A and B are shown apart, each in its own frame.
Chain A
Amino acid sequence: MADAAQSKPMDAHIQESGTRRDFLQIAATALTGIGAAVALWPLIDSMNAAKDTLALATAEVDLAPVQLGQRLTVKWRGSPVFIDHRTPEEIQAAEAVDVSTLRDPQTDAQRVKKAEWLIVVGVCTHLGCVPLGQKPTDPRGDYGGWFCPCHGSQYDTSGRIRQGPAPLNLAVPPYQFTTDTTVKIG
């Protein structure tokens, strides 16, 4: 009842469009909306990686004990990093590939700092499984690199995607050789 009584004079205003009241109403609604959206941002951003999580970002690795042909897994930022002490044959195989045939074209030289050390993040670029191939007994796929058991992606001896659903090569983390036999990842 009250509604009906009030709506009469309101209707009269709406007829003559673009009154002062309309303007105030629209402006107030718009600003409230923007204000609410801005107020949401701290909540959303609180879910992004915190400062201490971001600070945990480097790992030092001693390469001296890693034999030729041996592969080592280290943990960096909670994920495995594959370090492969590649044999001359593996290096050659990686360099011989015609880059234009690759899904994610990169030369082997773009992916290593020293040819005998391949360092890549051991996370399949499809949906994040850890590919097999670190142990000598693991399947390595048709390209001698790594084989992802989840959906069958295959990587070559440069960690490049060769077959299967993954879209990208295994990522190369930022790293530096601090001495001849130590590397700092991150």
Chain B
Amino acid sequence: MAAAPQQSKIVRWIDHRLPIFTFMRHELNEYPTPRNLSYWWNFGSLSGIMLVIMILTGIFLAMQYTPHVDYAFDSVERIMRDVNFGWLLRYMHMNGASLFFVVVYIHLFRGLYYGSYKEPRELLWMLGVVILLLMMATAFMGYVLPWGQMSFWAAKVITNLFSAIPVVGDGIVKWMWGGFTVGNPTLNRFYSLHYLLPFLIVGVVALHLIALHQHGSNNPLGIDRKGPQDSIPFHPYYTVKDMFGLGVFLIVYAVFVFYLPDALGDPVNYVPANPLQTPLEIVPEWYFLPYYAILRSVPDILFIPAKLAGVLCLFGAIIVLFFLPWLDTSRVRSARFRPVYKWVFWLLVIDVVVLGYCGAHRPEGWFIVAGRLATLYYFLHFIVLFPVIGWLERPLPLPTSISAAVTKKSSAPVAAASSMEKH
């Protein structure tokens, strides 16, 4: 395939040897996309942009940061006070991490609602779960770098989780620390890995996109595209829509960075790390609260002690997502046509919020009960409700095609769009 004929000689020369322009035209201009994507489909490209922002701000922070227990805290304070625009870099990176999780969580729940994990997008979904795991590891290690009290104690408590593993647990924890406790070797390796993992994420994102472009995007109706009348080219239609969404998102991001820079963080992390004193309450960043609640809620299960059971459930809560394409037995993708699942979906959203709320409070009194019930429901939702609802539910009749469904509702704008396509 050659570059489009209207392109310049240089472009054609290059494209003949390195078909980069053909590739871009194929994946952007010609890439057929369902014509009915809603704004929930913006969060994929937003995640990608967040990843780029995190890597950019991170690389420039790394030029000023010192990974040593005696200097790390001060070097971050220096970034905040003395480095030109250091405060901006750090606040963008810090709040960027939070908003990155907001965007990715919305992206994930979008997939849950519209059944985007179903055949033929199982691997696409599973690669997404891998990205989530890598992001969690990256954010955890990044949070340790400023070496505040919360950094230190989060590192200590989370690494100690692995000591729950029978027999080899203690050895693994000492190995992760590179010493007798969390210390300088730990800080150094976390820095090294915090630098590395985002680039691994880039790699997995590439695979995620290859898998996406194989079958194209799912859509709010959850039915396959049947012909050209169901699609529009990605560029310019969705590039424009994504840009608009980005604008709105950047406003929210800017409000946090410029007006509420510490709203999402814990003030205790502005106290330098002290290995001899635990803060009164150890709370993770908000995006880890539901998992933290699961960890703390689980009691002894049969012969498994609470500490190990908590760790298993914590990881299980993410691992179960890998199996979702096979746990959901319904063949209808979109919740729009699933009268029961449509409501049950929201129970999971509520459940995760309840878990987050429990994770932010000491496990005492009602919080223990609520935490345990919410944890139980979480697993019940995936392991029992997904298969059972799929079997019992009678889905509504699906529309015959995307274009039939969207033109029935409002014919005017669609007609305009398709006439534009001809130009």
Contacts and interface: CB of A to CB of B under 8 A. Distances in A.
Interface in B124-160: 153, 156-157, 159-160
A141 B299 CA distance: 21
Interface string A147-173: 001111000000000000101000000
A151 B181 contact: no
B180 A49 contact: yes
Contact of B156 (A47, A128, A165): A128
B281 interface: yes
A73 B277 CA distance: 10
A40 to B, nearest CB: 13
B316 interface: no
Contacts of B305: 167
24 contacts: A44-B175, A48-B175, A48-B178, A49-B174, A53-B185, A75-B276, A78-B179, A78-B180, A78-B182, A122-B276, A126-B307, A127-B157, A127-B160, A128-B157, A128-B159, A128-B160, A129-B153, A129-B157, A130-B276, A130-B277, A149-B278, A149-B280, A165-B306, A167-B305
Contacts of A77: 179-181
B203 interface: no
A144 interface: no
Contacts of A48: 174-175, 178
Interface string A30-69: 0000000000000010011110010000000000000000
Contacts of A73: 276
Interface in A107-165: 122-123, 126-130, 149-152, 165
A79 B152 CA distance: 12
A50 B278 CA distance: 26
Contacts of A122: 276
Contacts of A79: 180-181, 275
A127 B156 contact: yes
Contacts of B364: 152
A106 B175 CA distance: 29
B189 interface: yes
B282 interface: yes
B276 A47 contact: no
Interface residues of A, number: 25
A149 B157 CA distance: 13
Interface string B159-176: 111000000000000111
Contacts of B183: 53, 78
Given A78-B179, A79-B275, A150-B282, A50 B156 contact: no
Interface in B292-309: 296, 305-307
B208 to A, nearest CB: 27
B44 interface: no
B275 A75 contact: yes
Residue picked from A53, A77, A150, most chain B C-beta under 10 Å: A150
Given A128-B160, A150-B278, A150-B282, 6 more contacts: A47-B175, A49-B185, A73-B276, A126-B307, A150-B157, A167-B305
Contacts of B175: 44, 47-48
A78 B275 contact: yes
A123 B174 CA distance: 14
B265 interface: no
Nearest to A132: B278
B277 A167 contact: no
A53 B282 CA distance: 28
A80 B282 CA distance: 18
Nearest to A57: B180
